[in-house]
Amino acid sequence: MDGEASFFGLAGKKALIIGGGQGMGESSARLLARAGADVALVDLAADRAERVAQLVEGLGTRGVPIVGDVLDDAQIPRIVAEAADKLGGLDAMVSIVGAAAWGSLLDTTPAVWDQQLALNLRYFFLVARETAATMIKAGHGGSIVGIASVDGQRASPMRGAYGAAKAGLISLVQTMAVEWAPQRIRVNAIAPGHIVTPRLYNTPQRVDAYANSLIPMRTRGETDDIGKAALFLSSDMARYVTGTTLDVDGGLLAANLFPRGLPGNNA
């Protein structure tokens, strides 16, 4: 991608990846680094953050590992300040952390509900708010990207609290985009469909069968599919894009669960 690095307008820019230690976060870090950005990686696991920072350095830009827990409110100002101090500014933030708890609504206790909202929505609000405040102080604008899910855009049976939290994130991104547009901060989300990540919750055979029956492209996505969307949204390529959620799902939402084999469905 070296020849096209200037295309993205990210050379020398400073990016912070929350949950950058593996999977989609690692992918986003690698792609942003290839476009010339210096990248700070925040992760609970020091070895993960360190490994991806080394990977970034190997691509010729600065990689800064930061150990931190974004579910601990008190750490968030320190995490964002450490990234801005060590990188020398902050132009982009991509926030990956999130996960679904499995269970019907009737089995969803108040504790599970609170945990899901904390892990998929509340921390994103706090990290994005802190990042925006830092960007506003610097006065150069910037980009913020959150990870939603197709589950935030339709019913999400057996993971209802997760779906509600991701729907909240989609709404929040729109409000942030409107409130911070005057300061030239763009805020967007990515809604992954089914992506192969290090933290797969199902046997490959079952997931493959599911992909084959529901996803028009008949395959699950790769972490780089999300990394590329994060690169696009963080870059000048998306200069006029804000408040949107980009589905990266192989056509899953477009298909709207219309079963194969019915007349007129050639998918």
Q: Which two tokens stand for residue 152?
A: 């935030």
- The contacts of residue 58 (CB under 8 Å, 6+ apart) are none
Q: How far is the CB of 42 from ligand NAD (least distance, A)?
A: 6
Binding of ligand NAD by 24 (CB under 6 A): yes
Burial pattern 37-71, b for ≥16 Cβ within 10 A else e, equals: bbbbbbbeeeebbbbbbebbeebebbbbbbbbebe
Binding of ligand NAD by 71 (CB under 6 A): yes
| Chain centroid, CA 206 distance in Å | 25
- 151: which DSSP letter? G
Which amino acid, residue 233?
L
Nearer to ligand NAD, 2 or 47 (CB): 47
Which residue in the set 59, 70, 93, 145 belongs to the binding site for ligand NAD (CB under 6 A)?
Answer: 70
Which residue in the set 17, 41, 96, 238 belongs to the binding site for ligand NAD (CB under 6 A)?
Answer: 96
Q: Which stretch binds ligand NAD (CB under 6 A): 36-44, 135-143, 204-212, 251-259?
A: 36-44
Binding of ligand NAD by 197 (CB under 6 A): yes
Binding of ligand NAD by 98 (CB under 6 A): yes
**Cβ atoms 130, 69 nearer than 8 A:** no
Q: What number of chain residues touch ligand NAD (CB under 6 A)? A: 27
Cα–Cα distance measured from residue 152 to residue 132, given in angstroms and rounded to the nearest whole number: 24
Positive or negative torsion for Cα 47, 31, 122, 103: negative
Residues with active-site annotation: 162, 166
Nearer to ligand NAD, 78 or 239 (CB): 78
**Cβ atoms 84, 134 nearer than 8 A:** yes
| Chain centroid, CA 39 distance in Å | 15
Q: How far is the CB of 244 from ligand NAD (least distance, A)?
A: 17
Q: How far is the CB of 183 from ligand NAD (least distance, A)?
A: 26
Binding of ligand NAD by 17 (CB under 6 A): no
Binding residues vs ligand NAD (CB under 6 A) = 19, 21-25, 42-45, 48, 68-71, 96-99, 147, 149, 192, 194-195, 197-199
